[in-house]
Structure 1
């Protein structure tokens, strides 16, 4: 496919354009790059498509295409095959794909991958004198990684975070914590929170189709490290109901068996309804049906370094949030305006916040919806970062 000399390769072992949280992160960033006038080719980890496909819904003077280079282990791969791919060959296919491109990209951006992937990518960029930018979105907690703190997976992730990303030509950081860390290493850093196409997201509030009372929703997965305290949310919803607060919670993502396991195998409260997995394109509908989305996390380094996409998606759909503040959330959420701030992640604090939310009037919640949507348009639409990312990349030319 013919392309301009000034184009950017966005690479990593992620699914694209959909399939995982990283997919949405990359989608927002390539949208900003296109808004800045860059042509972008996304070379993801899927086995296909083998040839570039246009992402026509992205607005901007630049165009976005994508293909798969097969870096990620394929579904059904055995442990030995997957381990060999990740720890021995990860990154080779991407470097080989870059070698076949003419003209060479003006920049390479990497999202995800570990030490092995970065080794091949950094070597290619140094040899071809192409600036490499790392998109850094978290700081993993080794206690929750498969194999533990001293396992090969955690060690590989840590090497990338503390040794290889600081040797890139620049960093896009998702949070203030990561921005500060890499800026202190002397790197050019641009902070961009999770972004999406807020402007073209159709928002229609028809009211909840669930049981009567204040409607709450949790949509997502708690993660291997149970960073989302779903068990605390369930207990708080139950306690608030027992205290007279008319509310119900719908959970999308984890299976009923998973939720029961988180709840200690006890019977779930009558006002908690587990609906299981639904397609990603149905998430806006379930968010818009709810009065509030709810999210509670431990305030530790891993959560403060990251930034919840669930938070941004809820505001983009005009659904106020009930959260305890971690990371940069406080920059975008005002208590009683875009939602309610829980003072901490404890059961008692969340129960009290739910009681306050249950006393809100329909008129107050309508104003919160407007404020949530306006906040998302201002802070989480990918177009808002086009000028900043364009200037950032223009300064990183070798």
Structure 2
């Protein structure tokens, strides 16, 4: 069977939306389309059942997607889910690859751990198709189901240290992972989280400075799912600043009220902390734009430094500066008093200090930060900026 110049992007992720990995893959395949590649995304969800064009991507290439149902359905139960993820993961993907009328010129994989990689790597070697892996995390056992000794964490580590280094090429999301995989000698490219920054419409009514008191902060995410975001510390810092007399509102999108209260040991939430529930993806940008700052505080451990927060990039793209402690590569893009405010560390005292500084800013200062945030995102996180580097990287195997 001959190969044609199309890329199969595969993995057990949801697409085009549904999780952090969805946004990551969306940015990569949009860059490849801008570089001239036709990309078919075969995701892990059950839909769509037929290949469907993805709108809103600048060519000359294209992106379409199909669901292979690699992920266990919610009704599978513990036994069924374990069999699917620990034994069968990847089998549907290689059957789909076998069924294509022409082989892809490249296979790009995101996620999947050891079992998925075993099936996929064997298929690519048998058919002479280069396999490029996108690595975005270090997989701390504290953050995954079953803990350090659980089968899921063991599978993740086996993928990180055995299967990923044996791929033909490696794309990484951070400098930490770039340093780690450089020793493999494989072609290597670092690409931060990307999105369609140019195509994101800014609401002038929300992004214009003026009369923006109280200070409005926003958090959007799932602190229980990723176990990285220190939202409890953020809430306590808001309470401290309010006791100083500052007017501060914290809007929390994602977790429920009970989940948020659990982060502060069941205590009553400070006045001005509003839990607004989950947002549809289409409404996230508007919610971020309505805030003076978004807040991202994380413990600076290896898993955090190996990854890179998509929330950070989405905030700057929305023209909303960020209050954060510096982890991963954020220091490349978050300059103090320009794209936001930098907490000296992740402690309650460090976050409170940053909130006090934010409350003292004038509307004019906040407006300058908004402009700097948006400019940084256009330069650093728009998917079009990586079309040429990714295209050149994939041409290693043309």
Please give the TM-score of this superposition, normalised by the length of structure 1.
Answer: 0.97
Aligned to 1:198: 197
Q: 2:58 maps to what in 1?
A: 59
Structure 1 distance, partners of 2:144, 2:45, is 23
Which residue of the partner structure matches residue 27 of structure 1? 26
Q: Which residue is 1:341 aligned to? A: 342
1:296 equivalent in alignment to 2:297: yes
* Alignment match, 2:250: 249
Looking at structure 2, the residues matched to 23 and 355 of structure 1 have their Cα atoms a distance apart, in angstroms, of: 35
CA deviation vs aligned residue, 1:116-168 (integer Å, no higher than 9, x gap): 00000000000000000000000011123211111101000000000000000
Alignment match, 1:315: 316
How far apart, CA to CA, are the structure 2 residues paired with 1:151 and 1:306? Answer: 21
Q: Which residue of 1 aligns with 2:100?
A: 101
Q: Who is 2:35 aligned against?
A: 36
> Secondary structure at 1:139's aligned position in 2?
coil
Is the alpha carbon distance of 1:280 and 1:200 closer, same or farther for their aligned partners in structure 2, counting shifts above 3 Å?
same
2:170 — aligned with what? 171
Asked whether the 8 Å contact 1:205–1:288 carries over to 2, the reply is: no
2:3/2:104 contact within 8 Å kept: no
2:212·2:363 contact (CA, 8 Å) conserved in 1?
no
Q: CA deviation at 1:225?
A: 5.0
Contact 2:294 2:321 in 1 (8 A): yes
Partner SS for 1:165 = helix
> In 2, distance between residues paired with 1:296 and 1:14?
26
Deviations 1:254-307 (A, max 9, x none): 000100111100000112111111211111111000000001000000000000
- Structure 1 SS opposite 2:205: coil
Q: Where does the alignment leave 5 or more consecutive residues of structure 2 unmatched?
A: none
Alpha-carbon distance in 2 for matches of 1:333, 1:396: 35
Matches of residues 1-398 of structure 1 in structure 2 within 5 Å?
Answer: 5-207=4-206, 212-397=213-398
CA distance in 1, matches of 2:287, 2:13: 26
Report the 3-state secondary structure (helix = DSSP H, G, I; strand = E; otherwise coil) of the residue aligned with 1:297.
coil
Q: In structure 2, how many angstroms separate the alpha carbons of the residues matched to 1:20 and 1:14?
A: 8
Give the count of matched residue pairs: 394
Alignment check: 8 A CA contact 1:169 1:396 kept = no
1:194 aligns to what SS in structure 2?
A: coil
Which runs of at least 4 in structure 1 moved beyond 4 Å after TM superposition?
none
Offset from partner CA, 1:227-254 (integer Å, 9 cap, x none): 0000000000110111122211010000
Distance in 1 of aligned mates of 2:298 and 2:75: 32
Give the gaps of 5 or more residues in structure 1: none
Looking at structure 2, the residues matched to 211 and 249 of structure 1 have their Cα atoms a distance apart, in angstroms, of 14
CA distance in 1, matches of 2:304, 2:337: 23
Change (3 A) 1:4 1:214: farther
Which secondary structure state, in structure 1, belongs to the residue aligned with residue 50 of structure 2?
coil
CA distance in 2, matches of 1:148, 1:254: 22
Q: Contact between 1:198 and 1:316, CA under 8 Å: does it hold in 2?
A: yes
* Aligned-pair CA distance for 1:226: 2.1
